[in-house]
Amino acid sequence: MKITCNHILILAITTLAAVTSCTDLTETMYPQVTQDNFLRERSDVKAAFFRAYPHTNWLLTWNNMKNLQELSADQLAIPQKGRHWFDNGIYVRLHRHTWTPEHPQIWDAWNGLYQGIGYLNQNLEDFAKIDLTQPQFGYAASDTTEMMAELRIFRAWYYLKLIDLFGNVPVITKVGEPQSPPIQSRDEVFAWVEQQITDNVDQILTKDDNGSYGRITQAAAWTMLAKLYMNAEVYTGTARWEDAVAACDKILSGQVGSYSLDPSWQDPFKSDNDKSEENIWALVNGRWGGAWSFIGPALHYSHDVLFGVSGWNGYVTQEAAFKAYQDNDLRKNQFLIGLQVSATGDTAYATEEYAGQPLELVPYIARMTDQGQSDMTSGEENSGARAIKYPLLNPNDPLFLASDIVLYRLADIYLMKAEALMRLNGNKATQEAVDLVNAMRERSFEPADWPAEAYTTSTLTMDTLLAERGREFFWESWRRQDMIRFGKFTGSWWDKQPSDATRRIFPIPRRATASNSNLEQNPGYN
Amino acid sequence: MKNRYKYRIICFALLIGMALIWSSPSYGQNVRPLFAEVESGSITPVQTGTIIGKVTDASTGATLPGANVVIEGIQKGTATGVNGQYRIENVSPGSYTLVASFLGYKENSKDITIAADETLTVNFALQESAVGLEELVVVGYGTQERKELTGSVTTIKEEDFKETGGIIEPIQLIQGKVAGLQITRPSGMDPNAGTEIQLRGLSTLRAGAEPLIIVDGIPGGDLRNIASEDIKSIDVLRDGSAAAIYGARASNGVILITTKRGQASAPTFDYWGYVTTQQVTRKPRVLTAEEYVALAEEPDNPYSASMTDFGADTDWFTAMLNDYPVSQSHTLSMKGGTENTNYRVSVNYRDMQPIVMKTWRKEGRTRVNINHRGLNDRLTFQLDLSSTFATARYMTPDNYGGFQQSLKRNPTLPVKNPDGTFNEIEGWNTYNPVARQVQHERGDKWRYLNGGLKTTYSIQKNWDASVRVATTRDDNVGHQYIDRNAWALNQGQENTQVQDNVSTWGDSHIERLLESTTTYLFEHSGHRLRGMAGYSYQDFARERQSSSSSKLIAFFGRANYSFNDTYLLSASVRREGSSKFGENSKWGVFPAVSAGWRISEEPFMESIDIVDDLKLRIGYGVTGNQGIDPFLSKARIGGGGWYQVWNTNGYYQWIQTYGLSNNPNPNLRWEEKYEWNIGLDFTLLNDRLSGTIDLYDRTTKDLLFDYTAQIPPMIHDNIFANVGTMENKGIEVTLEASPVQSRDFSWKSTVTFSHNRNKLESLSNEVYKRSYQDTGWLTGPGSLGSSVRIQEEKPVGSFYGRKFAGFTEDGQWLFYNQNGEAVTDDQITEEDKQFLGNGLPKYFASWTNTFGYKNISLTLFLRGSFLFEILNMKEIYFGNKQFLPNNVLKSAITKHDQLNDKPQFSDYYLENGDYVKFDTITLAYNFSLSNAIVRNLRVYATGQNLVTITGYSGIDPEVERGGLTPGIDGVRYFPRSRSVSIGAKIGF
């Protein structure tokens, strides 16, 4: 073979083609932004800073955390109704306390909580790396301090939920680190949460600061501490009732902002509840907001006749919880019961067992087409009263389902302080405790009825206090925690037999333990 | 932008380079004779003779242009012309052996004696060879003779294709004909639905699972852009050693499609056309109106009160159908030209009318292939242009929900009210499917353009260099028009719509390719070495709301060595980078090595007459998979919920919040498959029996999948990572026999058989654990949970759930718990669930018989799949009395009459899916024409999907097999049909 300069030229060109064009494999995608080019200006920082707020709103509404808190207790249930809602028995197991680490809703809550912690950790890490006082960001040094303190307290709120639900959990303060973290004991997490809140509470906004609505304020942080101390005996074995009283007093004294009870029991939940003077922390929602997560799953398929929207017939009220309200208790108006007829006289019709007949909701959960058996698997389409605590306006109303989702409100401070005082008084009511409970309860009765309904030191027992908490905080995700604190959670009611003490915390979900061998399972689960 | 420039500059530089070389004057010499024309001896004054004649196909009588006719011993010969005729002049008188040969035919020789000045006529009728050892097989970046192959490659040529009548996508031409290649249409003959192609089982969990399609050398081709009539051959690279030259995308095998091209010939025309009609095979047996009313009147029926008789009698399934819809296809091709410039142009129009009302697909295609050779035959241009324009109307909604409605809708409801409007009733997930189909028009308009130019320059006799550039563009605009009177727009309110409802959406893909290769051939005393090296750049841009692009860049090379045509060795390597992977691991190396031993060429085999050819092959190859979305390795910021935030102007404002939307993985890398293959090719008994046996073992490592991330410390519960390992082992056998081969009658029989065993070895490593994942979720009413579990040590596609134990006296479900006790469902926990079956067939077989009698041919084609289970979802939901007052399957009151409980998933609903299909029967007639106008004429009638023999009670056992949930026969489906076509092919 004769090699000529032309051969070399061809080789050269081929080689050149191969080498010059070769190795650039950069990826581009519009409009995708990545972590390394994200925080460029003030609006980016804002968008990142507030990420955990709507996440928390989702956690309290559509996430299963609220199902763990409510469906394991004695007020709400999702019984099987004919061919609907058996759903592999997940609701039956929640009710009967027979859940296992595989239970999908437990994973959902665990995952949702740690996801929120991840957003907050990422913010704390990113904001510490950049100087937010630079002109493109334009924050004052005091803003930065406040933001970092608020993020830390927000993160503490998440751990407060974790110790309540799971007890012993890993404390993570940086995304991705450490790999395979071990659990920390409930005592250690408790101490860490307390420290995080007390160290930072003075730096964050109060109700009077511009832009504080919807965010964690000092009063909200003190409510967290109150909740922490109220349940300290459950969490750590050491009661902290005096500290609970002190935390409540911080709020009641007006030192961290002025709050007062709203005139009506429903005002804190109305569609314009941003005007409430009672709410200490509510998450901001617009039309078709999180309130629908309580209402949609409770309405019957045919409720559009009454409300213009139909539901999927899931949540119902356990009979005893519905009957815990006296007929003259104004709070009983939140329930849908009886024949379902609209304001204009149109009747909703049943579509399942009673298809074609007018829909009549009954207080009990039982198979009346058969032998009247009443348990979690024998509901029918009309079983149980349906609770509409966040009001349901006309779908065309600009505030339709726009209620802000309430986390903390003053009524709870009243009842928590009353309870702590009674605990300190050998579980007996003091006059101050009675006054606090009555101050909260009075608005739920007509003035004419009230004298007969007011509590006295002899009628306000621990049991009546728990019952009153049940009536007032129905659907506010406190029932499981309250029942545990009052020692009732492992007892029996309706279709629930006594359960083991280990059921007072949930197991660490299997998906988490399977991917991290350092996660020691809670006692009583395997 | 930078890259685009670079890309153009390179192309330009290469073309300039070529131009420089051509203009170099020293290049006029050393010309390689490309055509085997033998110089005629013109020096001797001796009187000579002339031999003339014609070469034809022995079975069809068709002339064979381009066949070689050579006089043995004196190196004198020629090739036949356009009409199959040849002429050899100046033959010295004497006795000779005259040999005629043609690719794909058996050589034929005749002893002749020629005298001076004599013109001797010698005609040859060549028999097709059973296995064309000399035939060229398309392998990656080039061709090889079949006898030289060391990898596992199957070639199916046009004459072995199924008839095109009744075919939706061209890949169906080879359905069932390639052992190990599974081609299924889970939506039957819906022309707007895709075909699932799977080679040697499922080798991936989340990356692309289908073979790489290469059309005329351009990787990533789209089958919808090809008319079946334009395809000349389809080659399937089955094993890793053959496919590895395509490295990055070759893990699921490679399918190379070669379209027809022009050749030196007089201008000719060919026409193909057919009409097809269809008929439904099996329909779900729901209660008729009469049965429904009778059931409502039964005294002990607890649903009586709600089962209303609306007075009509509607068969909702049939109401959704077209009666004998007629589809048609017409293709016209023109070809011709000279040795140096030739062309083929084809146009195709196809109107596909399926069995379902108001659905169709219409397509128009053109394809232009031009070959041009010049510069002393050293420079070749090969230009390919093709386009497809299609319009389609789909079912509405597009997931076949209408047929779910037709199952459950009360049969006493009318389609229309007496006033002519559509009848609609309120209810949970309920609508009139006929109205939906008429009033909601959903479809798309699709455009596909492809252009490619390959320039080859012959530097030396044995040394070529070529550059290929190609661009593909694929755009699609979808639409939905909803009539203003449609119930969906007016439900629950007065008829308030004044305008129709319109929505449209679009999607655009652009792919660009630049490839340069060079090949070199070295031959010396029995040694033959063929080398190839190349570079490839391909990018893929997609615009659909967002804009993304990805790139593949590769360097590759291959060497084939053979000694005495007996010992064969091949080695290749490809280094490829994909933009989709993490910063640290974009590049992968994909080597392959294979060897062949042609035992029949050994001296000791000469005495064994029954063996015509025998070859042992062994190969090992590594291939990759990058069939994932771009950008998965990055830390992506995603939009979260909205929140009301105080702004600097002093009021609240809603803003969208943003945060990390995934767990980033900078180590995201290639999923790699390592495959061994041992094969044996044989031809026996004078070509009467031939076959191929292949054994393979393929292991996919670093499986790309969403693994459970550690929560905490990660933000998100899944991370896209490379973790698990999967194995597929199997055997593939193809046998071809010609038991009868006489002048008038022939019988050819082909059997293929394959077996594949899949096992997911692992789904975990130290960090990412996922011992199993549940999937195959069965939705409402009453969310039934998952039906399939992907678990370590188990095959993919395993059904998992409760084990049926019977019914209680009052018809409640009983399932077995861990201790083997039959208990009611509320006592069954997760721990009691077990593996119940598998939806992936273990065995596949097909059998083709072709009988020829004179000009008539009859083809019978059967195929089947064996040893798998199907989950019959229609029975779960609609074979249950609790679904009343909606309509139910008749089985609810017969087979499942005992059942009086909510729907539940268990093995009660798993059925054996084994089946054999009479896939095709074709009867054809070839007219023998010696007509100056019509060269050939073939007419045929073909029936497809005629009969299915199966124990499965659903409508068709050929259900979805791709993906991770094979074997689920859903409640939403497209009816299955058999088709009959009449077609013709005319050459003139």
What digits encode the pLDDT tens for the residues A35-63? 888 999 999 999 999 999 999 999 999 99
Q: Does residue B323 have a pLDDT over 50?
A: yes
What digits encode the pLDDT tens for the residues B86-116? 888 888 888 888 888 887 677 788 888 888 8
- Are A516 and B709 inside 8 Å of each other by CB? no
Which amino acid appears at position B405 of this protein?
Q
Chain B residues closer than 8 Å to A20 by CB: 6, 10
Residue A524 pLDDT: 94
Which amino acid appears at position B324 of this protein?
Y
Angle at B392 between CA B387 and CA B396, to 5 degrees: 155
Is the separation of the CB atoms in A454 and A47 below 8 Å?
Answer: no
Beta bridge partners of B732: B694, B754
Nearest CA in chain A to B14: A13
pLDDT class for A5, splitting at 50, 70, 90? Answer: low
Chain A residues closer than 8 Å to B7 by CB: 21
Chain B residues closer than 8 Å to A512 by CB: 710-711
CA distance B606 to chain A (A): 37
CA torsion angle for A111, A116, A121, A127 (degrees, to 10)?
150
Nearest neighbour of A47 by CB, restricted to B26, B650, B658? B658
Looking at chain B from residue 633 to 652, which residues have their Cβ under 8 Å from any Cβ of chain A? 634-637, 640-646, 650, 652
pLDDT class for A29, splitting at 50, 70, 90? Answer: confident
Nearest neighbour of B14 by CB, restricted to A1, A17, A89? A17
Tokens encoding A85: 């809602």
Do β-strands B49-57 and B85-91 pair in parallel, antiparallel, or remain unpaired? antiparallel
Average pLDDT over residues B344-367: 93
Residue B430 pLDDT: 84
Place of tokens 């961290």: A256
Nearest CA in chain A to B27: A6
Residue B21 pLDDT: 41
Least confident of A7-21, A103-117, B787-801, B858-872: A7-21
d(CA B331, CA B274): 9
- Are B6 and A38 inside 8 Å of each other by CB? no
Average pLDDT over residues B387-391: 94
Residue B858 pLDDT: 93
CA distance B123 to chain A (A): 42
Nearest by Cα to A10 from B573, B464, B372:
B464
What digits encode the pLDDT tens for the residues B901-936? 888 899 999 999 999 999 899 999 988 776 667 888
CA distance B887 to chain A (A): 13
Residue A10 pLDDT: 59
Please give the residue that has the higher pLDDT: either B20 or A298: A298
State yes or no: cis peptide before B186, omega within 30 of 0. no
Angle between helix axes A104-129 and A42-49 (nearest 10 degrees) is 150
Which amino acid appears at position A434 of this protein?
V
d(CA B251, CA B215): 18
Which amino acid appears at position B414 of this protein?
P
CA distance B719 to chain A (A): 12
Residue B827 pLDDT: 82
Nearest by Cα to B665 from B558, B585, B776:
B585
Half-sphere exposure of B960 (CA within 13 A, CB side): 19
Nearest CA in chain A to B653: A211
What digits encode the pLDDT tens for the residues B362-388? 999 999 999 998 888 888 899 999 999
Using alpha carbons, list the distances in angstroms from residue A353 to A27, A349, B890.
57, 11, 21
What digits encode the pLDDT tens for the residues B121-136? 888 888 776 545 567 7
Tokens encoding B177: 């004909």
Residue B931 pLDDT: 67
Chain A interface includes B494 (CB < 8 A): no
Average pLDDT, chain A: 93
Burial B445-461 (b: 16+ CB within 10 A, else e): ebebbbbbbbbbbbbbe
* Distant-in-sequence, close-in-space partners of B192: CB < 8 Å, separation ≥ 6: B359, B361, B392, B394
pLDDT class for B498, splitting at 50, 70, 90? Answer: confident
What digits encode the pLDDT tens for the residues A347-371? 999 988 888 899 999 999 998 877 7
What whole-number percentage of chain B has pLDDT above 90?
A: 37
* Distant-in-sequence, close-in-space partners of A53: CB < 8 Å, separation ≥ 6: A214, A215, A283, A284, B641, B643, B657
Q: Does residue B18 have a pLDDT over 80?
A: no
Which amino acid appears at position A506 of this protein?
F
Residue A196 pLDDT: 98
- Are B21 and A28 inside 8 Å of each other by CB? no
Residue B2 pLDDT: 46
- Are B780 and A22 inside 8 Å of each other by CB? no
Average pLDDT, chain B: 85
* DSSP run (H or E) holding B22: helix B2-23
Average pLDDT over residues B11-38: 40
Average pLDDT over residues B825-854: 89
Is the separation of the CB atoms in A521 and A502 below 8 Å?
Answer: no
A/B interface, count of CB pairs below 8 Å:
269
Query: What would you report as the CA-atom Rg of chain B, rounded to the nearest whole angstrom?
Result: 32
Strand blocks (E) in B264-340: 265-280, 326-337
Nearest neighbour of B13 by CB, restricted to A17, A211, A355? A17
- Gap between the terminal Cα atoms of chain A: 77
- Are A114 and B711 inside 8 Å of each other by CB? yes
Three-state secondary structure readout of B883-931: HCCCCCEHHHHCCCCCCCCCCCCEHHHEEECCEEEEEEEEEEEEECCCC
CA torsion angle for B710, B716, B717, B721 (degrees, to 10)?
-80
- Are B768 and A515 inside 8 Å of each other by CB? yes
What digits encode the pLDDT tens for the residues B25-76? 333 333 333 333 334 444 445 678 888 888 888 766 777 877 888 887 776 7
d(CA B295, CA B297): 5
Average pLDDT over residues B284-313: 88
User: What would the DSSP string read from start to end of B271-287?
Assistant: EEEEEEEEEE-----BP
Chain A residues closer than 8 Å to B784 by CB: 88
- Using the 8-state DSSP alphabet, how is residue B688 labeled? T
Which of A29, A183, A511 to mutate to probe the B interface, most B CBs <10 Å? Answer: A29
What digits encode the pLDDT tens for the residues B953-977? 999 999 888 788 899 998 888 999 9
Alpha-carbon dihedral sign for residues B821, B827, B828, B830: negative
Is the separation of the CB atoms in B239 and B570 below 8 Å?
Answer: no
Q: Does residue B629 have a pLDDT over 80?
A: yes
Alpha-carbon dihedral sign for residues A495, A501, A503, A505: positive
Chain A interface includes B158 (CB < 8 A): no
Q: Does residue B22 have a pLDDT over 50?
A: no
- Are A86 and B902 inside 8 Å of each other by CB? yes
Residue B274 pLDDT: 93
Residue A6 pLDDT: 59
d(CA B621, CA B239): 8
Please give the residue that has the higher pLDDT: either B428 or B275: B275
